[in-house]
């Protein structure tokens, strides 16, 4: 998609198949729409009076201009209550508009140059469709060019590029997550990660099963041993501040298919279990964006990749294995495999020099019980300041995150009678227990676990979220790196 910018012009003269203009809730024609209203013979005023145009968040009013202005179609897109409008409002509105506009040439009037990033993110994320595997491709036409109208061409170009990089990172995560499990195996994922990293100048290390065994990553091996598709670990090292010893460690859960193992999952939802690798996809997308932005920071991303299958080799409930850091784990539940692979990943990223650690994962169904669907992901950390920093990064990009309590008593949830830790202690406190288990493998390094299982898939399209994989947490990871780079 070609995205360009022009200096502010009379909107009646803005060309393109479709012109998008944002406005907040109102009972009268806003100042920036008055020239358009006059050219259209008072049609905007009439639509507002009849409540056909309300300005409510994501509400779209469409006008066929019939030559009265240069653009063929005018879309008035609502951003909600005027005193609540922010970047997320424009991101959502742009996403909603992206699925409604007509024609190949789209022109967007920016509400301010600083919002170019959010608008571009919304347009690209909202118009995304997974290409799928149909023999006859979807022939629905999408806009191919976008012209942004702002005050400063250079500022708009800079901000829109930032938005494009962010969006492309999320789209990478979505595209990988939507791929079926027979197409995206751990090996294929590892190859994609290697190609992506090398394309962006990132140092890539790929560890196969033999190397994992040498290093003693027996938790990752235990989860992946039951599959004919062996497990992998991929480490991506971006060095943007070679003089600094600080390293941000990002770890992503990459279970490319999860049967639940011998504690097998029920039929309901089993068809979506190829999406259990979205955490790793988000980390890969974030690493791509961090490198593309050339941030002055050192970041190491670790992807722990495996299939959790059933066979004569598969690990069994009650098995004990030794993690990369030497700690032993009673693996009482084979469907709590995510925390096992992440434990080895967190320990390994610490070994690689991470001074702050953040993992992201579709970890528990329990987080949905706590927070519901489509509202917020959860955080569990061993350092209050680091947890708050991650939460603030999420807030800044419109990804809501809720910090779970971290009382010392919760450590009892992961205590085993026969090993150092146990990977499941029952339904009560399950979301907390998952986080406590993973963070324990960071030892004294500040670490935060982000559980976004309840945010990973959308059943319908709304704003810039489309049905299917969401890529939730990708932009938070990027923002965390940007904030640390400052």
Is 174 domain-assigned? no
Contact criterion met (CB below 8 Å) for 469 and 275? yes
Are 133 and 245 in a shared domain? no
Instruction: Determine which helix (DSSP H) or strand (DSSP E) holds 252, and give its type and residue range.
Output: strand 248-258
The confidence score (pLDDT) of residue 140 equals 65
Residues 189 and 158 in one domain: no
**In a structure prediction context, what are the per-residue pLDDT tens digits for the chain, which is 486 residues long?**
899 999 999 999 999 999 999 999 999 999 999 999 999 999 999 999 999 999 999 999 999 999 999 999 999 999 999 999 999 999 999 999 999 999 999 999 999 999 999 999 999 999 999 987 888 876 666 799 999 999 999 999 999 999 999 999 999 999 999 999 999 999 999 999 999 999 999 999 999 999 999 999 999 999 999 999 999 999 999 999 999 999 999 999 999 999 999 999 999 889 999 999 999 999 999 999 999 999 999 999 999 999 999 999 999 999 999 999 999 999 999 999 999 999 999 999 999 999 999 999 999 999 999 999 989 999 999 999 999 999 999 999 999 999 999 999 999 999 999 999 999 999 899 999 999 999 999 999 999 999 999 999 999 999 999 999 999 999 999 999 999 999
475 three-state secondary structure: helix
Do residues 253 and 359 lie in contact, with contact meaning Cβ atoms separated by under 8 Å? yes
Residues 302, 269 share a domain: yes
DSSP string computed for 173-231: HHHHHHS-TTTS-HHHHHHHHHHHHHHTT-EEEEE-HHHHHHHT-HHHHHHHTTSSS--
Q: What is the pLDDT of residue 139?
A: 62
Domain count, the chain: 2
Beta-carbon contacts of 210 under 8 Å, excluding residues fewer than 6 positions away, are none
Whether residue 176 is contained in a domain is answered as no
Binding residue per annotation — 276? yes
Which of 426, 289, 274, 302 lies closest to 362, judged by CA? Answer: 274
The answer as to whether 177 is a domain residue is no
- 441 Cα distance to chain centroid: 24
Annotated binding residue 344: no
Domain membership flag for residue 366: yes
Residue 175 lies in a domain: no
Q: What SS3 state is found at 133?
A: coil
CATH of the domain at 115: 3.40.220.10
For residues 145 and 199, state if they share a domain.
no
- Does 152 lie in the same domain as 196? no
Are 234 and 150 in the same domain? no
Predicted pLDDT of residue 348: 99
The continuous run of DSSP H or E covering 237 comes out as: strand 232-239
Please name the helix (run of DSSP H) or strand (run of DSSP E) that holds residue 330, with its range, or none.
strand 328-331
Same domain, 191 and 326: yes
Task: Domain of residue 7: give its range.
Answer: 2-166
Residues 139 and 273 in one domain: no
Cβ burial of 28 (10 Å; 0-12, 13-18, 19+) is exposed
Do residues 99 and 236 share a domain? Answer: no
Domain stops at, among 139, 166, 193: 166
Q: Strand 18-23 relative to strand 105-109: parallel, antiparallel, unpaired?
A: parallel
327 labelled binding-site residue: no
CA distance 101 to 93: 12
113 is an annotated ligand-binding site residue:
no
Which residues are 75's β-sheet partners? 20, 62
Q: What percent helix, strand, coil does the chain show, rounded to 5?
A: 40, 20, 40
Q: Are strands 248-258 and 356-361 parallel, antiparallel or unpaired?
A: parallel
> Which residues lie below 8 Å from residue 272, measured CB to CB, with a gap of 6+?
457
Burial of residue 157 (number of CB atoms within 10 Å: 0-12, 13-18, 19+): middle
Q: For residue 308, is it within any domain?
A: yes
Same domain assignment for residues 239 and 336: yes
What's the confidence (pLDDT) of residue 472?
98
Residues 191, 188: Cα–Cα separation, whole Å: 5
208 plus 103 within the same structural domain:
no
- Nearest CA to 209 among 177, 231, 182? 231
Q: Is 208 annotated as contributing to ligand binding?
A: no
Give the Cα separation of 342 and 447 in Å (integer): 12
CA–CA dist 361, 278 (Å, integer) = 7
443 inside domain: yes
Domain end marker among 166, 192, 215: 166
CATH number reported for the structural domain that contains residue 337 in this entry? 3.40.630.10
pLDDT of residue 336: 98
pTM: 0.97
Show which residues are catalytic: 265, 339
pLDDT of residue 269: 85
Looking at the structure, do residues 149 and 263 belong to the same domain, yes or no?
A: no
For tokens 């528990």, the residue is 364
């Amino acid at each position: 998609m070609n995205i360009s910018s022009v200096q502010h012009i009379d909107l009646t003269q803005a060309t393109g198949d479709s012109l998008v203009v944002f406005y907040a809730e109102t009972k009268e024609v806003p100042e920036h729409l008055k020239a358009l209203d006059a050219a259209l013979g008072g049609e905007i005023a009439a639509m507002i009076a009849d409540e056909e145009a309300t300005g409510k968040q994501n509400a779209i009013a469409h006008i066929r201009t019939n030559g009265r202005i240069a653009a063929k179609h005018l879309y008035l897109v609502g951003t909600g209550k005027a005193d609540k409008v922010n970047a997320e409002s424009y991101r959502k509105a742009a996403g909603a508009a992206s699925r409604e506009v007509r024609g190949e040439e789209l022109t967007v009037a920016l509400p301010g140059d600083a919002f170019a990033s959010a608008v571009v993110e919304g347009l690209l994320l909202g118009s995304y469709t997974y290409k799928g595997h149909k023999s006859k491709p979807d022939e629905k036409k999408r806009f191919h060019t976008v012209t942004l109208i702002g005050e400063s061409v250079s500022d708009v170009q800079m901000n829109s590029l930032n938005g494009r990089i962010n969006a492309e990172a999320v789209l990478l995560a979505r595209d990988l997550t939507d791929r079926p499990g027979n197409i995206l195996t751990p090996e294929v994922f590892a190859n994609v990660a290697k190609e992506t990293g090398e394309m962006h100048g990132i140092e890539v290390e790929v560890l196969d099963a033999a190397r994992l065994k040498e290093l003693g990553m027996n938790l990752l091996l235990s989860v992946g041993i039951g599959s004919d598709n062996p497990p992998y670990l991929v480490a991506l090292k971006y060095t943007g501040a070679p003089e600094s010893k600080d390293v941000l460690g990002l770890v992503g859960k990459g279970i490319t298919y999860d049967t639940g193992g011998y504690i097998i999952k029920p039929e309901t939802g089993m068809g979506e279990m190829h999406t259990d690798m979205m955490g790793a996809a988000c980390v890969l997308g974030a690493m791509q964006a961090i490198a593309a932005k050339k941030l002055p920071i050192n970041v190491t991303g670790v992807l722990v990749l495996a299939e959790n299958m059933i066979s004569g080799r598969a690990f069994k409930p009650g098995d004990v294995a030794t993690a990369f850091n030497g700690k032993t784990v009673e693996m009482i539940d084979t469907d709590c495999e995510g925390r096992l692979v992440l434990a080895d990943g967190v320990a390994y990223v610490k070994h690689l020099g991470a001074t702050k650690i953040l993992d992201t994962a579709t970890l528990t169904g329990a987080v949905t019980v706590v927070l519901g669907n489509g509202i917020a992901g959860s955080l569990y950390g061993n350092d209050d300041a680091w947890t708050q920093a991650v939460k603030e990064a999420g807030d800044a990009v419109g990804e809501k995150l809720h910090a779970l309590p971290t009382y010392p008593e919760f450590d009892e949830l992961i205590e085993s009678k026969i090993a150092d830790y146990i990977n499941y202690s029952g339904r009560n406190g399950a979301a907390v227990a998952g986080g406590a288990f993973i963070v324990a493998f960071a030892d004294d390094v500040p670490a935060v676990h982000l559980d976004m299982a309840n945010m990973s898939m959308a059943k319908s399209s709304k704003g810039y979220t489309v049905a299917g994989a969401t890529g939730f947490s990708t932009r938070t990871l990027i923002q965390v790196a940007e904030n640390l780079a400052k």
